[in-house]
Amino acid sequence: MISFNYETDFLLDNEEEISSWVLKVISSEGFKVEEVNYVFCNDAYLHKLNVEFLNHNTLTDIISFDYSIGKIIQGDIFISTERVLENAKDFKVSFEEELHRVIIHGILHYCGYKDKTKDEIKLMRNKENHYLKQLG
């Protein structure tokens, strides 16, 4: 089950489409979903989580807490819509495109993809781009 939760005024206008897409990506990667909760919030909310749980005193666009066991995915993905908007401007893409990239980025982490080294980042970007093309 994919659920969407909101700590700000932001609302996805296509929850069903996004949910279906995320489930297809998970299946394509050979996993099954137990439960994924997306929480859309602002910078202050996500910064607090970043400091409290990860000991990082920085702003970020996404934090994911992975509770997966084997090939069964479950977790909580927190996304700062403020940071996504800023990043979209910086990368000269639409807010929607950047939001979709971040939404699937968290899922790809659950599927085992990392983004610490140059090679890992390249593979992550390739996977994100591949799955972004499959949305709508």
Binding residues: 105, 109, 115
Q: Is there a contact between 128 and 107 (Cβ–Cβ < 8 Å)? A: no
Q: Is there a contact between 106 and 68 (Cβ–Cβ < 8 Å)? A: no
Tell me if residue 33 falls in helix, strand or coil: strand
Q: What is the DSSP string of 36-79?
A: EEEEEE-HHHHHHHHHHHH---S--SEEEEE--BTTEEEEEEEE
Classify strands 62-66 and 2-6 as parallel, antiparallel or unpaired.
unpaired
Annotated binding site for Zn(2+): 105, 109, 115
Q: Is there a contact between 14 and 79 (Cβ–Cβ < 8 Å)? A: no
Residues 6 or more apart whose CB falls under 8 angstroms from that of 101 comprise 128, 132
